[in-house]
Structure 1
Amino acid sequence: MELHIEKWDSMNLGKLSRQAMLSKLQKEGYDTTVYTFGTGTVFGDHSHSVNKKDAILSGRFLFRMGGEEVILEPGDQLEVPKGKTHYAECVGSEPVTFVDASKYS
């Protein structure tokens, strides 16, 4: 299985919040940007030149990579290796807010 979802660990990290997620990812060495996209927004097949992690703050995010598909929900984090083709789509009835985390080194 290529898709390894890391769930928010509220026992060790506290309640999920924007600031708590940003702090966690920054401690892991990621540069972070928060985006919100409306339902139905599609990110067709693409790849990135750096290692990334998508972390969901609200909404539902369909993600496909390596022949696998998963729905990411609040607190879910998923590593996206550099150069790996993937697809994503905002699904459900509410906008998706997520942290786009990039690791440049």
Structure 2
Amino acid sequence: MKLTLERWDTAKKGKFESSKLLQQLRDEGYSCSTYTFPAGCSFGDHSHAQDKKDAILAGEFLFRMDGEEVILKAGDTLEVPKGHTHYAEVVGGQPCVFVDASR
């Protein structure tokens, strides 16, 4: 499965603001929980029982699934289909403010 990544588009959405991204996710029908993970924090291979969307408000987050890898930055969102095994890690030396969006 190909990763479905959306980067914040300043031309269409204006300057990135956390509140705008959270509102976008809510408008898409997601319930959102926000977490701050320290630099170097990792989440070994795992999967979820529901479709989710990961979003980044600050910092950098490496995500790996089905042989693809991407580094998410502030304003980025990534669809995480239920049942798909994936790996994630905070990279870049700074904490990551992460939104766990599910529906």
- TM bucket, shorter chain: over 0.9
Tell me the distance in 2 between the aligned counterparts of 1:58 and 1:2: 24
Which residue matches 2:31? 31
Corresponding residue pairs, total: 103
Q: Which amino acid aligns with 1:40?
A: G
Tell me the distance in 1 between the aligned counterparts of 2:92 and 2:10: 24
Deviation at 1:4, TM superposition (A): 2.1
Deviation at 1:2, TM superposition (A): 1.1
| RMSD value, Cα | 1.1
What per-residue deviation string (whole Å, max 9, x for no partner) do you get for residues 5-38 of structure 1?
A: 1011223323222211110000001000111100
Q: Which amino acid aligns with 2:12?
A: N
Secondary structure at the residue paired with 1:50? coil
TM-score (norm 2): 0.94
TM-score (norm 1): 0.92
Q: Sequence identity, in percent? A: 59
* Structure 2 residue ranges without an equivalent (≥5): none
Deviates more, 1:18-27 or 1:7-16: 7-16
Deviation at 1:74, TM superposition (A): 1.0
CA contact (8 A) 2:40 2:93 kept: no
After the TM superposition, which residues 12-27 of structure 1 pair with which residues of structure 2 at under 5 Å, given as runs? 12-27=12-27
After the TM superposition, which residues 1-105 of structure 1 pair with which residues of structure 2 at under 5 Å, given as runs? 2-103=2-103
